[in-house]
Amino acid sequence: MKKTLVALAALAATTAFAQSTVTISGVLDVGVRNVSKVAAGAAKMNVGAGNNNRVSFAVVEDLGGGLKATANAEMRFDPATGTPEGGGARPLFQGQTRVGLVGGFGTVMLGRGLTPLQAANGGNSDPWGVTTVAGSVYAAGFATDYAAGGEGRIDQGIWYTSPTVGGLTLAASMSPRKIVTAAGATPSKTSQSMTAAYANGPLMVAVGNERNRADDTITAVFGNYNLGVAKLFASHATIKGGTTAEQAAAGTFAASAAAVNTGTTVNTQVAAGGKIKNWTVGATVPMGAATIRVGYSGWNGNGAVGQKDDTKVGLGVKYDLSKRTFIYSDIAQQTRKNLTGTAAAGRDNTTVQSFDLGIAHSF
Protein backbone atom coordinates (compact mmCIF):
# COMPACT_ATOMS: atom_id res chain seq x y z
CA MET A 1 0.00 0.00 0.00
CA LYS A 2 2.83 2.38 0.91
CA LYS A 3 4.57 1.60 -2.37
CA THR A 4 1.35 2.35 -4.23
CA LEU A 5 0.93 5.70 -2.45
CA VAL A 6 4.55 6.64 -3.17
CA ALA A 7 4.09 5.71 -6.83
CA LEU A 8 0.90 7.77 -7.05
CA ALA A 9 2.61 10.73 -5.38
CA ALA A 10 5.53 10.49 -7.78
CA LEU A 11 3.14 10.31 -10.74
CA ALA A 12 1.20 13.34 -9.47
CA ALA A 13 4.43 15.33 -9.03
CA THR A 14 5.58 14.34 -12.52
CA THR A 15 2.24 15.40 -13.99
CA ALA A 16 2.38 18.74 -12.15
CA PHE A 17 5.90 19.44 -13.37
CA ALA A 18 4.93 18.40 -16.89
CA GLN A 19 2.40 21.26 -16.95
CA SER A 20 5.14 23.86 -16.54
CA THR A 21 8.03 24.29 -18.98
CA VAL A 22 11.13 26.49 -18.88
CA THR A 23 13.01 27.19 -22.11
CA ILE A 24 16.52 28.62 -22.14
CA SER A 25 17.74 30.14 -25.40
CA GLY A 26 20.16 32.77 -26.55
CA VAL A 27 22.44 34.34 -29.14
CA LEU A 28 26.20 34.80 -29.21
CA ASP A 29 27.43 37.02 -32.05
CA VAL A 30 30.94 38.47 -32.18
CA GLY A 31 32.77 40.04 -35.10
CA VAL A 32 35.48 42.39 -36.23
CA ARG A 33 34.30 45.84 -37.29
CA ASN A 34 36.12 48.64 -39.09
CA VAL A 35 34.76 52.18 -39.43
CA SER A 36 36.49 54.71 -41.70
CA LYS A 37 35.95 57.79 -39.53
CA VAL A 38 35.87 57.79 -35.75
CA ALA A 39 36.36 60.25 -32.91
CA ALA A 40 39.88 61.54 -32.37
CA GLY A 41 41.99 58.93 -30.58
CA ALA A 42 39.46 56.12 -31.06
CA ALA A 43 40.37 52.87 -32.82
CA LYS A 44 38.91 52.38 -36.27
CA MET A 45 38.84 48.59 -35.76
CA ASN A 46 37.26 46.81 -32.83
CA VAL A 47 35.91 43.43 -31.78
CA GLY A 48 32.30 43.50 -30.67
CA ALA A 49 28.71 42.40 -31.14
CA GLY A 50 27.02 42.27 -34.53
CA ASN A 51 23.67 41.31 -33.02
CA ASN A 52 22.14 41.76 -29.56
CA ASN A 53 23.83 39.05 -27.47
CA ARG A 54 21.46 37.57 -24.95
CA VAL A 55 20.37 34.71 -22.71
CA SER A 56 16.59 34.28 -22.52
CA PHE A 57 14.39 32.41 -20.05
CA ALA A 58 10.79 31.67 -21.08
CA VAL A 59 8.25 30.00 -18.78
CA VAL A 60 4.81 28.59 -19.63
CA GLU A 61 2.53 26.91 -17.08
CA ASP A 62 -0.78 25.26 -17.97
CA LEU A 63 -3.38 26.48 -15.46
CA GLY A 64 -6.20 24.47 -16.98
CA GLY A 65 -9.37 25.54 -18.73
CA GLY A 66 -7.39 27.02 -21.64
CA LEU A 67 -5.56 29.45 -19.33
CA LYS A 68 -1.76 29.62 -19.15
CA ALA A 69 0.74 31.63 -17.14
CA THR A 70 3.71 32.99 -19.07
CA ALA A 71 6.88 34.85 -18.12
CA ASN A 72 10.14 35.82 -19.75
CA ALA A 73 13.43 37.38 -18.72
CA GLU A 74 16.20 38.30 -21.14
CA MET A 75 19.72 39.29 -20.16
CA ARG A 76 21.72 41.30 -22.70
CA PHE A 77 25.50 41.66 -22.63
CA ASP A 78 28.63 42.61 -24.57
CA PRO A 79 30.42 39.35 -25.45
CA ALA A 80 33.74 41.12 -26.04
CA THR A 81 33.89 42.43 -22.44
CA GLY A 82 31.39 40.32 -20.50
CA THR A 83 29.62 43.44 -19.23
CA PRO A 84 25.98 44.49 -19.72
CA GLU A 85 25.27 46.34 -22.96
CA GLY A 86 26.27 49.95 -23.36
CA GLY A 87 29.39 49.68 -21.21
CA GLY A 88 27.25 48.72 -18.23
CA ALA A 89 24.89 51.71 -18.63
CA ARG A 90 21.95 49.56 -19.67
CA PRO A 91 20.05 47.26 -17.31
CA LEU A 92 21.38 43.69 -16.99
CA PHE A 93 17.96 42.42 -18.13
CA GLN A 94 17.86 44.92 -21.00
CA GLY A 95 15.78 42.65 -23.23
CA GLN A 96 12.60 42.13 -21.25
CA THR A 97 11.23 41.07 -17.87
CA ARG A 98 7.51 40.32 -18.09
CA VAL A 99 4.90 38.03 -16.59
CA GLY A 100 1.26 37.51 -17.53
CA LEU A 101 -1.64 35.32 -18.61
CA VAL A 102 -2.61 33.77 -21.96
CA GLY A 103 -6.12 32.60 -22.83
CA GLY A 104 -8.93 32.87 -25.31
CA PHE A 105 -9.01 36.60 -24.60
CA GLY A 106 -5.43 37.03 -25.82
CA THR A 107 -2.30 37.82 -23.80
CA VAL A 108 -1.86 40.30 -20.94
CA MET A 109 1.63 40.97 -19.55
CA LEU A 110 3.25 43.32 -17.04
CA GLY A 111 6.85 44.46 -16.63
CA ARG A 112 9.51 45.81 -19.02
CA GLY A 113 9.94 45.11 -22.71
CA LEU A 114 9.59 46.19 -26.34
CA THR A 115 6.46 48.09 -27.26
CA PRO A 116 4.15 46.51 -29.89
CA LEU A 117 5.36 48.92 -32.58
CA GLN A 118 9.03 48.30 -31.88
CA ALA A 119 8.64 44.53 -31.44
CA ALA A 120 6.84 44.19 -34.78
CA ASN A 121 9.40 46.37 -36.59
CA GLY A 122 13.06 45.38 -36.91
CA GLY A 123 13.25 42.05 -38.69
CA ASN A 124 10.00 42.72 -40.54
CA SER A 125 11.25 45.89 -42.22
CA ASP A 126 15.01 45.40 -42.44
CA PRO A 127 16.96 42.57 -44.15
CA TRP A 128 19.47 42.57 -41.27
CA GLY A 129 16.90 42.73 -38.50
CA VAL A 130 18.50 46.03 -37.45
CA THR A 131 21.86 44.36 -36.74
CA THR A 132 25.44 44.58 -38.09
CA VAL A 133 27.01 47.70 -39.62
CA ALA A 134 24.69 47.43 -42.62
CA GLY A 135 21.38 47.51 -40.73
CA SER A 136 19.02 50.14 -42.11
CA VAL A 137 18.39 53.55 -40.60
CA TYR A 138 14.98 53.42 -38.92
CA ALA A 139 13.02 55.40 -36.33
CA ALA A 140 15.76 58.05 -36.37
CA GLY A 141 15.13 60.82 -33.86
CA PHE A 142 12.68 58.81 -31.78
CA ALA A 143 13.25 56.80 -28.60
CA THR A 144 10.49 54.99 -26.76
CA ASP A 145 11.65 55.89 -23.26
CA TYR A 146 13.79 58.60 -21.69
CA ALA A 147 16.14 56.19 -19.93
CA ALA A 148 19.35 54.30 -20.63
CA GLY A 149 18.37 51.30 -22.74
CA GLY A 150 15.06 52.92 -23.65
CA GLU A 151 15.41 52.39 -27.37
CA GLY A 152 12.15 50.63 -28.18
CA ARG A 153 11.37 49.60 -24.59
CA ILE A 154 9.27 50.87 -21.70
CA ASP A 155 9.59 50.35 -17.97
CA GLN A 156 6.54 49.75 -15.75
CA GLY A 157 4.53 48.66 -18.78
CA ILE A 158 1.22 46.90 -19.43
CA TRP A 159 0.75 44.90 -22.68
CA TYR A 160 -2.22 43.38 -24.45
CA THR A 161 -2.06 41.20 -27.58
CA SER A 162 -5.27 39.94 -29.20
CA PRO A 163 -5.82 36.45 -30.58
CA THR A 164 -4.92 36.20 -34.27
CA VAL A 165 -8.04 36.15 -36.45
CA GLY A 166 -7.68 35.63 -40.19
CA GLY A 167 -4.02 36.65 -39.99
CA LEU A 168 -4.77 39.92 -38.15
CA THR A 169 -3.27 40.61 -34.70
CA LEU A 170 -3.85 43.75 -32.63
CA ALA A 171 -1.46 44.81 -29.86
CA ALA A 172 -1.19 47.72 -27.45
CA SER A 173 0.93 48.82 -24.51
CA MET A 174 1.04 51.70 -22.05
CA SER A 175 3.07 52.83 -19.06
CA PRO A 176 1.38 54.91 -16.34
CA ARG A 177 4.77 56.04 -14.99
CA LYS A 178 5.14 59.83 -14.80
CA ILE A 179 8.29 61.91 -14.55
CA VAL A 180 8.37 65.27 -12.76
CA THR A 181 11.70 67.04 -13.21
CA ALA A 182 11.15 69.86 -10.71
CA ALA A 183 8.68 71.04 -8.10
CA GLY A 184 5.58 72.41 -9.79
CA ALA A 185 6.70 71.22 -13.24
CA THR A 186 4.26 69.64 -15.67
CA PRO A 187 4.52 65.83 -15.42
CA SER A 188 5.48 63.88 -18.50
CA LYS A 189 2.96 62.21 -20.81
CA THR A 190 1.75 58.63 -20.52
CA SER A 191 3.66 56.31 -22.86
CA GLN A 192 1.48 54.36 -25.30
CA SER A 193 1.91 52.19 -28.39
CA MET A 194 -0.52 50.44 -30.76
CA THR A 195 -0.01 48.14 -33.75
CA ALA A 196 -2.17 46.20 -36.20
CA ALA A 197 -0.26 43.46 -38.05
CA TYR A 198 -1.46 41.15 -40.82
CA ALA A 199 0.47 38.01 -41.78
CA ASN A 200 -0.84 35.47 -44.26
CA GLY A 201 1.23 33.35 -46.62
CA PRO A 202 4.06 35.35 -48.19
CA LEU A 203 2.74 38.75 -47.02
CA MET A 204 3.34 40.57 -43.74
CA VAL A 205 2.27 44.19 -43.30
CA ALA A 206 1.76 46.34 -40.19
CA VAL A 207 0.83 49.86 -39.17
CA GLY A 208 1.45 51.39 -35.77
CA ASN A 209 1.61 54.56 -33.72
CA GLU A 210 3.57 55.30 -30.57
CA ARG A 211 3.91 58.24 -28.16
CA ASN A 212 6.72 58.58 -25.64
CA ARG A 213 6.70 60.52 -22.37
CA ALA A 214 7.84 63.73 -24.13
CA ASP A 215 4.83 63.57 -26.48
CA ASP A 216 7.13 62.77 -29.42
CA THR A 217 5.19 60.46 -31.75
CA ILE A 218 6.05 57.98 -34.48
CA THR A 219 3.65 56.58 -37.06
CA ALA A 220 5.02 53.73 -39.15
CA VAL A 221 3.96 51.39 -41.95
CA PHE A 222 6.22 48.43 -42.68
CA GLY A 223 6.24 44.90 -44.01
CA ASN A 224 7.71 42.33 -46.35
CA TYR A 225 6.73 39.96 -49.14
CA ASN A 226 8.35 36.61 -49.89
CA LEU A 227 8.62 35.95 -53.63
CA GLY A 228 10.48 32.70 -53.10
CA VAL A 229 13.52 33.77 -55.10
CA ALA A 230 13.78 36.89 -52.90
CA LYS A 231 12.14 38.53 -49.90
CA LEU A 232 11.34 42.25 -50.24
CA PHE A 233 11.25 44.70 -47.29
CA ALA A 234 9.99 48.28 -46.96
CA SER A 235 9.03 50.79 -44.28
CA HIS A 236 8.06 54.44 -43.89
CA ALA A 237 7.81 56.42 -40.67
CA THR A 238 7.02 59.97 -39.60
CA ILE A 239 8.37 61.27 -36.27
CA LYS A 240 6.90 64.43 -34.75
CA GLY A 241 8.37 66.30 -31.79
CA GLY A 242 6.33 67.41 -28.78
CA THR A 243 6.35 70.97 -27.47
CA THR A 244 9.36 72.45 -25.70
CA ALA A 245 7.53 72.22 -22.36
CA GLU A 246 6.59 68.59 -22.92
CA GLN A 247 10.12 67.60 -23.87
CA ALA A 248 11.50 69.45 -20.85
CA ALA A 249 9.00 67.72 -18.57
CA ALA A 250 10.29 64.31 -19.67
CA GLY A 251 13.76 65.09 -18.34
CA THR A 252 17.17 64.15 -19.71
CA PHE A 253 17.04 62.29 -23.01
CA ALA A 254 19.31 59.40 -21.99
CA ALA A 255 18.29 56.94 -24.69
CA SER A 256 20.01 56.94 -28.06
CA ALA A 257 17.68 58.67 -30.51
CA ALA A 258 18.68 56.85 -33.66
CA ALA A 259 19.06 53.28 -34.83
CA VAL A 260 21.90 53.89 -37.24
CA ASN A 261 24.02 50.83 -36.42
CA THR A 262 27.47 52.21 -37.20
CA GLY A 263 28.30 53.41 -33.71
CA THR A 264 29.84 56.52 -35.23
CA THR A 265 27.32 59.32 -34.95
CA VAL A 266 25.88 61.31 -32.09
CA ASN A 267 22.20 62.18 -32.40
CA THR A 268 19.57 63.85 -30.26
CA GLN A 269 15.80 63.61 -30.19
CA VAL A 270 13.49 65.16 -32.76
CA ALA A 271 13.25 68.91 -32.19
CA ALA A 272 10.26 70.34 -30.36
CA GLY A 273 7.58 70.81 -33.00
CA GLY A 274 9.88 69.27 -35.61
CA LYS A 275 9.22 66.46 -38.07
CA ILE A 276 11.46 63.72 -39.44
CA LYS A 277 10.54 61.25 -42.17
CA ASN A 278 12.51 58.07 -42.71
CA TRP A 279 12.19 55.09 -45.02
CA THR A 280 13.83 51.77 -45.82
CA VAL A 281 13.81 49.37 -48.76
CA GLY A 282 15.72 46.12 -49.00
CA ALA A 283 15.80 42.46 -49.96
CA THR A 284 17.24 39.09 -49.04
CA VAL A 285 18.11 36.59 -51.77
CA PRO A 286 18.68 32.93 -50.73
CA MET A 287 21.36 31.06 -52.66
CA GLY A 288 21.72 27.64 -51.04
CA ALA A 289 23.49 28.03 -47.71
CA ALA A 290 24.18 31.69 -48.49
CA THR A 291 21.80 34.64 -48.28
CA ILE A 292 22.57 37.95 -49.96
CA ARG A 293 21.27 41.01 -48.10
CA VAL A 294 20.89 44.49 -49.56
CA GLY A 295 19.25 47.65 -48.23
CA TYR A 296 18.90 51.38 -48.81
CA SER A 297 17.49 53.81 -46.27
CA GLY A 298 17.41 57.42 -45.19
CA TRP A 299 15.73 60.18 -43.29
CA ASN A 300 15.05 63.87 -43.79
CA GLY A 301 13.07 66.63 -42.17
CA ASN A 302 13.24 69.60 -39.85
CA GLY A 303 14.30 67.74 -36.75
CA ALA A 304 17.13 68.75 -34.46
CA VAL A 305 20.40 69.90 -36.02
CA GLY A 306 22.32 66.77 -36.95
CA GLN A 307 19.24 64.87 -38.03
CA LYS A 308 18.21 66.63 -41.21
CA ASP A 309 19.48 64.40 -44.00
CA ASP A 310 21.05 60.96 -44.04
CA THR A 311 21.24 58.11 -46.54
CA LYS A 312 22.71 54.67 -46.11
CA VAL A 313 23.33 51.73 -48.42
CA GLY A 314 24.32 48.27 -47.20
CA LEU A 315 25.33 44.99 -48.82
CA GLY A 316 26.15 41.72 -47.07
CA VAL A 317 26.19 37.95 -47.12
CA LYS A 318 25.13 35.46 -44.45
CA TYR A 319 26.38 31.88 -44.79
CA ASP A 320 24.79 29.08 -42.75
CA LEU A 321 27.25 26.53 -41.37
CA SER A 322 24.37 24.73 -39.62
CA LYS A 323 20.85 25.46 -38.39
CA ARG A 324 22.30 27.36 -35.44
CA THR A 325 25.62 28.79 -36.63
CA PHE A 326 26.44 31.19 -39.45
CA ILE A 327 29.16 33.56 -40.56
CA TYR A 328 28.47 36.97 -42.08
CA SER A 329 30.16 39.94 -43.68
CA ASP A 330 28.76 43.36 -44.56
CA ILE A 331 29.79 46.69 -46.02
CA ALA A 332 27.92 49.96 -45.66
CA GLN A 333 28.23 53.57 -46.69
CA GLN A 334 26.41 56.30 -44.84
CA THR A 335 26.29 59.91 -46.01
CA ARG A 336 25.62 62.56 -43.38
CA LYS A 337 24.47 66.04 -44.43
CA ASN A 338 23.58 69.31 -42.69
CA LEU A 339 25.47 68.37 -39.54
CA THR A 340 26.81 71.31 -37.56
CA GLY A 341 29.12 70.32 -34.74
CA THR A 342 26.90 67.55 -33.39
CA ALA A 343 29.20 64.70 -34.36
CA ALA A 344 32.81 64.21 -33.32
CA ALA A 345 35.45 66.27 -35.11
CA GLY A 346 35.93 65.16 -38.71
CA ARG A 347 32.55 63.45 -39.05
CA ASP A 348 30.28 66.38 -39.89
CA ASN A 349 28.95 66.60 -43.47
CA THR A 350 30.84 63.55 -44.59
CA THR A 351 30.58 59.92 -45.68
CA VAL A 352 31.42 56.98 -43.42
CA GLN A 353 32.28 53.49 -44.68
CA SER A 354 31.89 50.46 -42.43
CA PHE A 355 32.85 46.78 -42.72
CA ASP A 356 32.29 43.77 -40.49
CA LEU A 357 33.07 40.05 -40.43
CA GLY A 358 31.62 37.86 -37.71
CA ILE A 359 30.22 34.56 -36.53
CA ALA A 360 26.95 33.95 -34.69
CA HIS A 361 25.50 30.97 -32.82
CA SER A 362 22.00 30.56 -31.41
CA PHE A 363 20.99 27.98 -28.81
10 assigned to some structural domain? no
7 assigned to some structural domain? no
Q: What percent of the chain has pLDDT over 70?
A: 79
* pTM assigned to the model: 0.85
Report pLDDT digits (tens) over 89-129. 788 888 899 999 999 999 999 999 999 999 888 789 999 98
Report pLDDT digits (tens) over 18-33. 468 999 999 999 999 9
Is the model's pLDDT at 183 over the cut of 60?
no
Q: Does residue 340 contact residue 326 with C-beta atoms inside 8 Å?
A: no
Query: Judging by beta carbons within 10 Å of its beta carbon (0-12, 13-18, 19+), is residue 324 exposed, middle or buried?
Result: exposed
Q: What confidence score (pLDDT) does residue 21 get? A: 94
pLDDT band with cut points at 50, 70 and 90 for residue 130: confident
Q: Does residue 353 contact residue 332 with C-beta atoms inside 8 Å?
A: yes
DSSP, collapsed to helix, strand or coil, labels residue 119 as helix
* Mean residue pLDDT across the chain: 83
Helix ranges (DSSP H) in 157-315: 244-249
SS3 of the chain: helix, strand, coil, percent, to 5: 10, 50, 40
Q: What confidence score (pLDDT) does residue 305 get? A: 46
pLDDT band with cut points at 50, 70 and 90 for residue 250: low
Report pLDDT digits (tens) over 151-160. 788 989 999 9
326 assigned to some structural domain? yes
**How many other CB atoms sit within 10 Å of the CB of residue 121?**
27
What's the Cα-to-Cα distance from 191 to each of 19, 109, 111, 219, rounded to whole Å? Answer: 36, 16, 14, 14
Q: What is the DSSP letter of 13?
A: H
DSSP, collapsed to helix, strand or coil, labels residue 213 as coil
Give the domain CATH number at 187: 2.40.160.10
13-17, 52-56, 140-144, 166-170: segment of lowest average pLDDT:
13-17
237 assigned to some structural domain? yes
What's the Cα-to-Cα distance from 147 to each of 30, 41, 141, 152, 261, rounded to whole Å? Answer: 26, 28, 15, 11, 19
9 assigned to some structural domain? no
16 assigned to some structural domain? no
Contacts of 252 (CB under 8 A, 6+ apart): 146
Count of domains in the chain? 1
147 assigned to some structural domain? yes
Question: Could you tell me which residue, 257 or 284, shows the higher pLDDT?
Answer: 284
What mean pLDDT do residues 200-214 have? 94
Phi, psi of 52, deg, nearest 5: -85, 105
**How many other CB atoms sit within 10 Å of the CB of residue 194?**
18
Task: Specify the amino acid at residue 165.
Answer: V
pLDDT band with cut points at 50, 70 and 90 for residue 303: low
Range of the domain at 82: 21-362
